[in-house]
């Protein structure tokens, strides 16, 4: 599975747990660290953790393993690093504060429900 398909699968896993404002950023031409960011929001610590757990289950189903997961216990900003794909699960105030979307403002992007369109980019 290539990194774009993996990013789409993980974004859909976040959606299954009612993550909001799900955004995919294509960083292949912008960063040497990763190919894609998946950024989403959970409205509470339990929801952020549930989104992370569902993403972990999807990774297992796909035969993928995270290099690291950080921030799970606090549940304000969980980072799931798979190397070519990095998932950021934020609480709303934390997402506003760090504003990764603005930092990578010129990167190609897709928001739910347009992940299928992103797959053709």
Distance CA 90, CA 43 (A): 8
Cα angle at 99 between 86 and 60, to 5 degrees?
20
**Mean pLDDT in residue range 36-54:** 97
**pLDDT at res. 120:** 45
The set of residues, in sequence order, having a beta carbon less than 8 Å from that of 83 and lying 6+ positions away, is: 34, 67
Mean pLDDT value of segment 60-64: 95
118, pLDDT greater than 70: no
Query: With 70 as the cut, is the pLDDT of residue 78 above it?
Result: yes
103 three-state secondary structure: helix
Catalogue all structural domains in the chain, each as residue range(s) with its CATH number.
3-112 (3.30.460.10)
What value does the mean pLDDT take over residues 84-103? 95
Mean pLDDT of the chain: 90
- Between 107 and 5, the more confident residue is 5
Predicted TM-score of the model (pTM): 0.90
Model pLDDT, residue 105: 78
pLDDT value for 114: 61
* Element of type H or E holding 80: strand 77-81
Q: What DSSP string runs through 14-46? A: HHHTT-EEEEEEE-TTT-SS-SEEEEEE-SSHH
d(CA 57, CA 49): 12
Average pLDDT estimate for 77-85: 97
């Amino acid at each position: 599975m290539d990194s774009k398909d993996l990013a789409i699968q993980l974004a859909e896993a976040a959606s299954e747990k009612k993550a909001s404002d799900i955004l995919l950023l294509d960083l292949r031409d912008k960063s040497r660290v990763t190919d894609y960011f998946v950024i989403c929001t959970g409205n509470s610590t339990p929801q952020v953790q549930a989104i992370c757990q569902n993403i972990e289950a999807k990774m297992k189903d796909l035969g993928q393993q995270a290099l690291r997961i950080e921030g799970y216990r606090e549940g304000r900003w969980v980072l799931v690093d798979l190397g070519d794909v990095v998932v950021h699960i934020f609480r709303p105030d934390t997402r506003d504060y760090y504003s990764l979307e603005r930092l990578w403002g010129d990167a190609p992007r897709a928001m739910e429900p347009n992940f299928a369109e992103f797959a053709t980019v």
